[in-house]
Structure 1
Amino acid sequence: MANTENLKPFTKLNAKEMGRRGGIASGKSRKEKAYIKHSLTLLLNIQNYINSLSNIEFETFVCVFSLEQQSYIRTLFKPSKKEIRQILKKFK
């Protein structure tokens, strides 16, 4: 439990400063949430696009990227059953 004897009341000056800091933090938080929402929307759109491709179309799509990027894309968007099991183990 807090010791109420040690608390200092807000003055006009420090209330103004605390409100300003809170507003800045709120704006930063809103920007971060908007960025995450935008990123997830893009990721889901890409996922839907890749799911609509046949295996041949997928391989054609992936061949444009470097080998490292191809590996990442395959793991992220078209994981094998073994890779799915490994991913699920991490979250259990």
Structure 2
Amino acid sequence: MGDLFVVRTAGHALDRAALGSIAFSIEYLRVPLVAVMGHERCGAVKATLEALQNHQRAPDALQSLVNLIRPAFDDYPVTPDMLDFAIQANIRYTVRHLVQTP
């Protein structure tokens, strides 16, 4: 108990609750390491790409997830075969976001 503190969100999207949970683990539990882990065929990143490719909003609450993931690959043209690249870009974006968050 207490050896691992896990915060999971689809696409490891950093909303206020996820950031607060990570901050809690660092501040109060003294967690020494934060790891950001993506995975192949990430459905959240795929849904984001599909929404962007189709120039459509995602259904309901999924749009908030799309809004959190989209900036990870804003600087790249969205193509149908970019899922693997987008997953890696999302990991790098999440790490940068965490490093820059006080």
TM-score, length-scaled by structure 1:
0.29
Please state which structure has a larger fraction of its residues in helix: 1
TM-score, length-scaled by structure 2:
0.27
